[in-house]
A = this chain, B = another copy of it.
Amino acid sequence: MAYTVRQLARLAGISPRTIRYYDEIGLLKPAQVSAAGYRLYGQAEVDRLQQILFYRELGVELKKIKRLISAPSFDELAALREHRAKLLAKRRQVDLLIANVEKTIALKEGKTTMTDQEKFEAFKQKMIAENEDKYGAEVRAKYGDEAVDRSNALLKNMTAEQYAEWQKLGEEVLNTLKAAMATGEPAGDLAQKTADLHRQWLTFSWNHYNKEAHAGLARMYVADSRFTAYYDDQIQPGAAQFLCDAILIYTGQQQ
């Protein structure tokens, strides 16, 4: 069946305006245009729209969606499998929120206590390093207990002031890393300052710091795609690698 704008919109549960907008930005072009100028969509467009909506559901910007699915290397099946993984992650996130709201209910009923930091924990999609209660076992098995002995207890045992300081340090690491990357020199002052800030940041959650473990974590940043994705996304592609290099130099552990 060939769909007009409104028919396609109804099929997908979106507005006609959205369909036209997607044409305007070149995200979804009609299969053909009738003599009267009517947009007409076919099977390929229906499937493409479904892909688009999966990406949109997962919060991807339209510009990025366009880049992704227009790439000649775009693999529909692989994309669907990634959607699946992302949706599973999203469900875990919703589960966290449910746990959080339940704990907050208990708090309001006077049945428990909650620190300020706990109240917002589930809203943040955190870096894996701060999520070890969920990934801990996995990471532990891979990299040993040494580097992963911090956990949820951290949130409960830190005072609000300590937590604020910790968060601030985390932000500074990112800011300094960004500036350092602009220089392009992992051995430069800024990059070494980044590594030092990173050490200070770690010290909050590690009960004993040593250079070997620090360097080990740095290597993990490039080895584990979830870490890499986090830094590359927050800063720019290559950020995880750059940080790793800087830390290896800082700890004198580069071979």
The chain A residues found within 8 Å of chain B, CB to CB, are: 1, 3, 7, 10-13, 46-47, 50, 53-54, 57, 76-77, 80-81, 83-84, 87-88, 90-91, 94-95, 97-98, 101-102, 104-105, 108-109, 116-117, 119-120, 123-124, 159-161, 163-164, 167-168, 171
Contact = CB atoms under 8 A, between A and B. Distances in A.
Which 3 A/B pairs are nearest by Cβ-Cβ distance? A13-B124, A1-B160, A10-B167
Nearest to A50: B119
A123 to B, nearest CB: 5
Contact of A168 (B10, B12, B57, B87): B10
Contact of A91 (B83, B94, B123): B94
Contacts of A47: 119
Nearest to A84: B101
A164 B76 CA distance: 26
A167 B16 CA distance: 14
A102 B161 CA distance: 46
A54 B120 CA distance: 10
Contacts of A119: 46-47, 50
Nearest to A76: B108
A117 B11 contact: yes
A101 B167 CA distance: 37
A147 to B, nearest CB: 24
A97 B123 CA distance: 21
B57 A84 contact: no
Nearest to A167: B10
Contact of A94 (B3, B76, B94): B94
27 contacts: A1-B160, A1-B164, A7-B164, A11-B117, A11-B163, A11-B167, A12-B120, A13-B120, A13-B123, A46-B116, A50-B104, A50-B119, A54-B97, A54-B101, A76-B108, A77-B108, A77-B109, A80-B105, A80-B108, A83-B101, A84-B101, A87-B94, A87-B101, A88-B98, A90-B94, A91-B98, A94-B94
Contact of A84 (B3, B10, B98, B160): B98
